[in-house]
């Protein structure tokens, strides 16, 4: 990762600032990380239901681990891994 050495200043009105804080809170990101993600064109995920999603994924992993190996199992595991990567972004 490249060293972050540049800074910016942005003036926001009260409503814009509150909106920014709410979006950062929903995504569980710091302001600087949120702004960088938006500038990079990344999709910023709201994490209001993150815990419930994580619980369901753990349940699904448990069920799949008990299933016999197959191409379908591999495909499902990869899709679940994609979801996990998405939640981490």
Q: Write the pLDDT tens digit of every residue in 39-68.
A: 877 666 666 677 777 788 888 888 888 888
For residue 67, what are the CA distances in angstroms to 7, 18, 49, 51, 58?
51, 48, 27, 25, 15
Looking at the structure, tell me whether residues 54 and 38 fall in a common domain: no
Task: Identify which has the larger pLDDT, 14 or 58.
Answer: 14
* Helix axis angle, 50-66 to 71-88, nearest 10°: 160
Using the structure block, give the residue that is written with the tokens 């990344």: 42
Which residues 6+ apart lie within 8 Å of 38 measured at CB? 44
> Where in the sequence is the domain holding 26, given as residue range(s)?
1-47
Count of domains observed in the chain: 2
What is the pLDDT at residue 12? 93
The answer on pLDDT for 18 being more than 80 is: yes
Q: What is the pTM of this model?
A: 0.49
5 and 38: one domain?
A: yes
Residues 42 and 3 in one domain: yes
pLDDT value of residue 48:
65
Instruction: Write down the mean pLDDT value for the chain.
Output: 82
9, 32 contact by CB (below 8 A): no
């Amino acid at each position: 990762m490249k060293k972050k050495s540049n800074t910016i200043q942005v003036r926001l009105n009260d409503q814009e600032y509150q909106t920014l804080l709410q979006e950062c809170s929903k995504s569980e990101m710091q302001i600087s990380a949120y702004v960088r993600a938006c500038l990079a064109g990344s999709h910023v995920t709201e994490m209001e239901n993150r815990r419930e999603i994580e619980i369901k994924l753990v349940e699904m992993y448990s069920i799949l681990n008990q299933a016999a190996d197959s191409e379908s199992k591999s495909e499902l595991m990869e899709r679940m891994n994609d979801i996990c990567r998405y939640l981490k972004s």
